[in-house]
Structure 1
């Protein structure tokens, strides 16, 4: 796996700042990769690091690197250091957390350039009810001259096996807390983190849910008064390529690099956990976070299923210079790009992992036609275009069993999706600035080596008439609306004066403080949605553990009402959490409401500091009898109010009025 030419000079420059063994540009071990097998352990050594795995469990018990005997948390039990896990349940049964332990060890390849080993666990009917009905093969790979190791897994549910749900699967690495205390997720998301002991009684105050605590007596006094919550460090899949931890003594970085999103569920904007206090770093493949039950795969009627998760790369680097976390972080980003550019890898040996030759590509150009904006087609600038399993328009965001392949179109709408696994797909797209989802009419069959050019595709977003008014910008997030500053007693200093200020704890409580005497009223033509539209329609506290529904108002003027014209209210929702949207026109007491979504959403994005979850679009035909000449009021009621976290994050609202032809 070579370094692409554009990165060679940059990689060499950073490598000059790093110690031997930090970047892959180092003398190879004179004996190559060595495999040592003992009764209970397997050790793989390439001269740069030693990876020790329990046998036959396949748990990472140790990583020896740069003079440190073990980067894993040595105070933890061996099966609580580096492991694959999943959460599953029988239909209607409770969730079961399972650290995946193999029962059989195999050597797949052993030579001086590469060692690949396998730890498998095979299901049989005697395990019904006690183990997830999957065959699981965990693989680990160490390459010569590589400062890290790869891991991937193959999950298989055979035809006729029992039904089950799988709520989560991932890899977790728990590092030494005495060394790894600095976390980095992005250029502007890095910080010294609390210690895991800071979450013990006497050092913190429990907040509204177990994951969030206020640090009252932390080991590091500089962190006193801050909130710690692992969900504050979530990340969209599209941005979640490298994250990890840095030790200052000695200066070492431990990084989790994900070179492709194809095996993650939910598409490019699905949010997942990354690193958090522990110190813990995660490779999330499948989860219900920010989506709820919609992204829990459910296996029924003995269906056959197989999927490869990974490989992901665990990269380590170090420096002998005065410790500067930016040096290690910048090197990790370069290595991440090398891994991305090398995808799909050529070295994994499972027959279920498809190489470049077994894959195909799709290209084309996406245009948008909205005659009320432009008579000509509009380039779908930066559109998200992807392939996922066949389904309805927009179904990709809830798809959770297959693979997905996404790209961004260029400014002219041209797109190219490469390295697509063989199989049948639909092509989906969505474009910031326009509501709704595009789906190509025909199923696309990918065969090895194919290069399918779809030509020009035209998306016609939902539209019946000209825009009378609009609130927000249709980009599937609530980021453009008003996000308040946090209560200073519950702040995370990382996000003060930060573009991601929505990641602060407790913002739901700020609504009642900003609107103490009544709910939000927004006046078209006078109000500014960046200042006057609160980012989330939440419940209102009314005493201890009691909450009230909220009703927002949109006021607007109509000079005339065309009795035979078509009026449409389009409401795009960026997230919903056990909520309901009731819409009434000029009559707050209308019963039933003129429109109701019914109960929608389990995203929990409000509690977990997400600015979006699953996308919903509702197109409401407005009867002219509901409208009046002069001032009109639309009432938006969210009546579900059992908790502070029930609510709606709006993306965009638009009222369309009659066209000239009406």
Structure 2
């Protein structure tokens, strides 16, 4: 019988409420705080177990302060935190003394960290800082809640050049009858303080290796994982970059021949709501739940790490992964800034012996739904975290105006609509200092964005199936309690003339193109026959094997981009084990070539890494080319098994004098060839004729 060890009687009522709200949420397509992929029927708890759970009673929250540690205890779990550093050193739960890795130093079990650098530094490598607190303050202490604050205040007379110039306030919260605890932090940079950069910041938990072996990120992304020692030199073979290791002599022979790489488990912000680990003996789940994206950088498509071999679970708040230096947080010397990261919820659950351990995953998803429904939380004591009544909302309707699709405006079906700091068209994907609030429009283009923090924003949008980005040209000011209706807003996507031909789908991803099978000696079994087959290691090497005698040639009207367009224009490996740029060809016919007109080539890139893309028409050696992007991108998507990074759109004028009646060829040359990881992924390519050709 399944008891699920929700651990608190009130949570049974929460689940009942979730069942009702789940039906409502499924109809509210404008609300995407809960990703559709995570909607599942609630786990059935047998009647007897329900009665037992509802009759259970736990004491109020207690706080025990010792010289070097503090303990939060609500009768369900006990969380031990170092004093005054603010590191989580122990989590006692379900009769287990510590779920965290007891073989690690106390500072390497549960901790906040960041990577920073001095102003003017380049690249994405910096100084690692676990942000050890120097002072403890009890913010709330009663039977219903304990909230602790571990602070480190920056002193310019002492810390200049030694510590990141931030005041850091790390908070931990335990509630009565809650099978878990929350954590959030407030970072503050004062106006007179020096300039600096932040590359990454997160909260990490290192779990017990002898217990947690099964990792779950999504319904179709979960598996038993190798051990960390399988990555060591005597058991693993380092591959082309440090994160990837071929397991040649693993502790458990079943993992032999697999590749382990933490980037194979990256996830987009919009889908990154719950992930974690399951222990089979005893049956215990450890889950990291993030109820909102508002404090994450880079918008809903930004990709971050989740869980990986360790066993490790992460809550990433800001990172440069799949974006590179474009997303480094850069602060000027007189730039005040404050931001709240979190709260995130660390949720624990367990089963009675004999039950299916995967019920723990189902239960974690239900808990995630409950957390999303109760956002913004009412319990954080910091005045910097705004409650629901302090926030506002925006609604409206997005329409698309493209006269070559319809004479009338059409609804922005499924559009991603969001608020981010004022900027330029598309700037939201590089924005990382403020808060962002996103939703999905319904099939009629209606959208509603709720629980927006006060401040000034631009409204941004993009529509799957439609090229380019939309920006509302009025700054929107959110005040407490405001309800703003922007009415109908109209997006006119880039368009100069009729579509002559197109390749791909404008969805900011290269997933629809041909993704080859991996080298059978370099596989991750999870992604065999998987929709995310692009996450396999080493796919860049397959290009030279599939095109040994020449580069890709794609013929409009004959080829199928799902079979004939390689997902990434990568470099070619030579016989000398060096690399060189590649030139792809698009061949097409024109019944009429208008020499007096100008054609338009739309090149939407899903990602780029240290690449230069050149375009030539009917002459592969033309100098200069019709277009050059210059060297662009530090996304590193190819190496990290992503299918997109930062979106880039180039609109290339093609003089009619360069086109011919009959056969034509566009040459796409990626010139850079130093490493196997340089290249671009295309999102969508379209050639438009002059306006008068219909």
Unaligned segments of structure 2, at least 5 residues: 1-9, 21-39
**Aligned counterparts of 1:46 and 1:119: Cα–Cα separation in 2:** 20
Report what 1:659 is aligned to: 691
Alignment counterpart, residue 62 of structure 1, candidates 81, 87, 90? 90
**Aligned counterparts of 1:6 and 1:513: Cα–Cα separation in 2:** 55
Alignment counterpart, residue 243 of structure 1, candidates 262, 275, 281? 275
Report what 1:229 is aligned to: 261
Secondary structure of the residue that 1:29 maps to in structure 2?
Answer: coil
Report what 1:108 is aligned to: 139
Secondary structure of the residue that 1:457 maps to in structure 2?
Answer: strand
Report what 1:40 is aligned to: 68
CA spacing shift, 1:330–1:113, aligned 2, 3 Å: same
Cα deviations by residue, 1:464-483 (Å, 9 ceiling, x for unpaired): 10000000000000000000
- Asked if 2 retains the 8 angstrom alpha-carbon contact of 1:65 and 1:71, the reply is yes
Report what 1:617 is aligned to: 649
Report what 1:128 is aligned to: 160
1:325 CA displacement = 2.8
Cα deviations by residue, 1:77-133 (Å, 9 ceiling, x for unpaired): 000000000000002446100011100000000000100000000001120110000
1:28 CA displacement = 3.4
1:544 CA displacement = 4.9
- Give the 5 Å matches for 1:292-307: 292-307=324-339
**Aligned counterparts of 2:551 and 2:48: Cα–Cα separation in 1:** 57
Secondary structure of the residue that 1:338 maps to in structure 2?
Answer: helix
* Aligned residues: CA RMSD: 1.8
**Aligned counterparts of 2:94 and 2:55: Cα–Cα separation in 1:** 13
Q: Which moved more, 1:1-10 or 1:272-281?
A: 1-10
1:561 CA displacement = 1.0
CA spacing shift, 1:4–1:194, aligned 2, 3 Å: closer
Report what 2:482 is aligned to: 450
Report what 1:482 is aligned to: 514
**Aligned counterparts of 1:613 and 1:185: Cα–Cα separation in 2:** 20
**Aligned counterparts of 1:576 and 1:258: Cα–Cα separation in 2:** 29
Cα deviations by residue, 1:268-327 (Å, 9 ceiling, x for unpaired): 000000000000000000000000111111001320000000000000000013252320
Cα deviations by residue, 1:31-77 (Å, 9 ceiling, x for unpaired): x1010000000000000000000000000000000010000000000
Unaligned segments of structure 1, at least 5 residues: none
Alignment counterpart, residue 27 of structure 1, candidates 38, 50, 56? 56
1:624 CA displacement = 1.2
Alignment counterpart, residue 444 of structure 2, candidates 377, 394, 412? 412
1:343 CA displacement = 0.1
CA spacing shift, 1:164–1:28, aligned 2, 3 Å: farther
**Aligned counterparts of 1:421 and 1:288: Cα–Cα separation in 2:** 24
CA spacing shift, 1:18–1:416, aligned 2, 3 Å: farther
**Aligned counterparts of 1:471 and 1:215: Cα–Cα separation in 2:** 38
What TM-score, normalized to structure 1? 0.97
1:203 and 2:213 matched: no
1:661 CA displacement = 6.9
- Asked if 2 retains the 8 angstrom alpha-carbon contact of 1:21 and 1:318, the reply is no
Report what 1:256 is aligned to: 288
What TM-score, normalized to structure 2? 0.93
Alignment counterpart, residue 516 of structure 1, candidates 540, 548, 553? 548
Report what 1:501 is aligned to: 533
- Asked if 2 retains the 8 angstrom alpha-carbon contact of 1:17 and 1:319, the reply is no
**Aligned counterparts of 2:50 and 2:312: Cα–Cα separation in 1:** 26
1:438 and 2:470 matched: yes
**Aligned counterparts of 1:21 and 1:46: Cα–Cα separation in 2:** 21
